[in-house]
Structure 1
Amino acid sequence: MDFDFDEFLSSGIGDDNFKWLIKFLKGMLKPLAATAVVLMAVILSYMQKLGLEGEMVYSIIRSFLQLSVIGFVLQFIFNQDHAVWIILAYLFMVSVAGYTAGQRAKQVPRGKLVAGASILVGTAVTLVLLVVLNVFPFTPRYIIPVAGMMVGNAMTVTGVTMKRLRDDIKVQMNLVETALALGATPRQATLQQVKRALIIALSPVLDNAKTVGLISLPGAMTGLIMGGASPLEAIQLQIVVMNMLIGASTVSSIMSTYLCWPAFFTEAYQLETKVFSTD
């Protein structure tokens, strides 16, 4: 006789937590079925001799495990509904993002610390504004997903900004040193490099905002629609999301340029050559 999950769940056997676990396992059947498309990608990689089969399998297994663990963690935090858990989850995301962005700009001294501080400031300021303006209530169910989106975008933008700024200064060291010799401050001497780094880093975020809904439906909007919300309700949330991503990314990227300068220059306002001597 086949086992009926729904009948078991409605039978009253076990406590609420156990029932929730059974529902979770039942819900994982579709994600498992969706791995068929990854198998297709693995086969194509093998046929084309790309050598990416192992990385594909590793990536999907890792993402599967990570998301499963995060699902349990979020379920626990949502049930607690306490501000301490919101802050701890937020700081964990910022720490991981700072480490990842710092790895991208590993030639920048104290890059992980600079990235982490920049992401923290940019996303925290944006979150506070959203809560004060009553756009989102300060509850785990709202703040943690919103913070995750902002931290992820700020991570990417900050890493690109730091790496690009350092690389541009290295390429144009003679121009920067000339400006410093003429009495310019580090900010004045690297103004063009800072502008270029910020424009390059923020352009994808702005381009995404310009084309949102025309080329693809973003994740937040798609999730709401698939969850049963009306398209009009979905676009309202998506507009808020795009606004907060631009705000947090801009603050974080600008903050990172200010925090990079102490490592790029000596106390005598000279370029720290050892920072630019390696690739």
Structure 2
Amino acid sequence: MDLEFDELLSSGIGDGNFEWLLKFLNGMIKPLAATAVVLMAVILSYMQKLGLEGEMVYSIIRAFLQLSVIGFVLQFIFSQNHAVSVAGYTAGQRAKHVPRGQWVAGASILAGTAVTMFLLVILNVFPFTPRYIIPVAGMMVGNAMTVTGVTMKRLRDDIKVQMNLVETALALGATPRQATHQQVKRALVIALSPVLDNAKTVGLISLPGAMTGLIMGGASPLEAIQLQIVVMNMLIGASTVSSIMSTYLCWPAFFTKAYQLETKVFSTD
């Protein structure tokens, strides 16, 4: 009853139909460690008062369960058949009316990717080698690019529509952060929602590219879903850091040193 995984795999219990299950459970250590970046996203959401903490946790738990189920199903099928700096520019173009938008987007994407990658390497989820770092960073950069562009554009548009409310708050002594709190929150929720929705439906509506690529390359479906869980975790973490960072970097362009709205930023469509 107290045999370790390695002992089970070398014993008769680990042979046959149970071997893949034991390997799967033993391989879940790194995907579980990768949830640290989701915890980071939850903490940031709480600090920013976005109200997304519950949805983030729910999304990743649902993604974990759905990918695990589809992994077991595919493993059964396969065993029966015996089958073996561009991102910153693009995001800046989406928010082209934001002054220095490309710089803001590039710095935000770099921050989100670097922080998330640092945690994954420290937790030994990925070895610090080009073979892993380059493709993993590429996925995070691509996702952060989309989220950052949407955040910047939505924030600028919302402030433009509600300039009177923002200016009233500033006149009453509010700081730029306090005056635009609702606009920032709305921009972040809208930008991050597709990432969270994707986590909720992964394994149900479609199989992610990384997962299907590994399976088509001959990897075990269970190994593929372990990697996909890590990928979903890191995308949520990187996207959250990048989008929040972009809102902070936008403020200097939106306000003057006297805490007034920079009207010329909002005068164009």
TM-based fold match above 0.5: yes
- Report the CA distance between 1:230 and its aligned residue: 1.2
- Report the CA distance between 1:52 and its aligned residue: 40
- Report the CA distance between 1:25 and its aligned residue: 40
Distance across 1 between alignment mates of 2:81 and 2:128: 10
CA offset digits 1:96-141 (Å, max 9, x no partner): 1001100110000000000000000000000011001000001111
- Report the CA distance between 1:231 and its aligned residue: 1.1
Q: Which moved more, 1:177-186 or 1:63-72?
A: 63-72
Change in Cα spacing, 1:253 to 1:82, as seen in structure 2 (3 Å) is farther
SS in 1 for 2:127: coil
Using structure 1 for the length normalisation, give the TM-score: 0.67
SS in 2 for 1:271: coil
CA offset digits 1:68-113 (Å, max 9, x no partner): 99999999999999999xxxxxxxxxx1100110011000000000
- Report the CA distance between 1:229 and its aligned residue: 1.1
Q: Is the 8 A contact 2:147 2:243 kept in 1?
A: yes
- Report the CA distance between 1:48 and its aligned residue: 48
- Report the CA distance between 1:17 and its aligned residue: 42
SS in 2 for 1:130: helix
Q: Within 5 Å, which residues of 2 pair with 1:114-125? A: 114-125=104-115
Ranges in structure 2 where 5+ consecutive residues have no aligned partner: none
Q: Is the 8 A contact 2:62 2:199 kept in 1?
A: no
Distance across 1 between alignment mates of 2:147 and 2:15: 45
SS in 1 for 2:98: coil
Q: Is the 8 A contact 1:78 1:141 kept in 2?
A: no
Distance across 2 between alignment mates of 1:135 and 1:43: 21
> In the alignment, does 2:204 pair up with 1:209?
no
Q: Is the 8 A contact 2:148 2:242 kept in 1?
A: yes
Q: Is the 8 A contact 1:176 1:190 kept in 2?
A: yes
Q: 2:224 aligns with which of 206, 226, 234?
A: 234
Change in Cα spacing, 1:69 to 1:152, as seen in structure 2 (3 Å) is farther
| Ranges of 4+ aligned residues in structure 1 off by more than 2 Å | 1-84
Q: Which moved more, 1:206-215 or 1:72-81?
A: 72-81
Change in Cα spacing, 1:20 to 1:178, as seen in structure 2 (3 Å) is closer
CA offset digits 1:188-233 (Å, max 9, x no partner): 0000000000000000000000000000000110011111111111
SS in 2 for 1:13: helix
Change in Cα spacing, 1:216 to 1:102, as seen in structure 2 (3 Å) is same
Distance across 2 between alignment mates of 1:248 and 1:38: 9
Change in Cα spacing, 1:62 to 1:222, as seen in structure 2 (3 Å) is closer
Distance across 1 between alignment mates of 2:259 and 2:48: 54
Using structure 2 for the length normalisation, give the TM-score: 0.69
Change in Cα spacing, 1:179 to 1:32, as seen in structure 2 (3 Å) is closer
Distance across 2 between alignment mates of 1:46 and 1:258: 16
SS in 1 for 2:12: coil
Q: Is the 8 A contact 1:83 1:139 kept in 2?
A: no
Change in Cα spacing, 1:66 to 1:119, as seen in structure 2 (3 Å) is farther
Distance across 2 between alignment mates of 1:125 and 1:46: 18
Q: Which moved more, 1:34-43 or 1:269-278?
A: 34-43
Change in Cα spacing, 1:137 to 1:111, as seen in structure 2 (3 Å) is same
Structure number with the bigger relative contact order (C-alpha 8 A, sep ≥ 6) is 2
Q: Is the 8 A contact 1:162 1:257 kept in 2?
A: yes
Q: Which moved more, 1:176-185 or 1:224-233?
A: 224-233
Q: Is the 8 A contact 1:98 1:116 kept in 2?
A: yes
Distance across 1 between alignment mates of 2:145 and 2:6: 42
Q: Is the 8 A contact 1:123 1:248 kept in 2?
A: yes
Q: Within 5 Å, which residues of 2 pair with 1:1-279? A: 95-279=85-269
Distance across 2 between alignment mates of 1:136 and 1:168: 39
- Report the CA distance between 1:269 and its aligned residue: 0.3
Q: Is the 8 A contact 2:170 2:260 kept in 1?
A: yes
Q: Is the 8 A contact 2:55 2:196 kept in 1?
A: no
Q: Which moved more, 1:29-38 or 1:262-271?
A: 29-38
Change in Cα spacing, 1:82 to 1:278, as seen in structure 2 (3 Å) is farther
Distance across 1 between alignment mates of 2:36 and 2:178: 55
Q: Is the 8 A contact 1:266 1:272 kept in 2?
A: yes
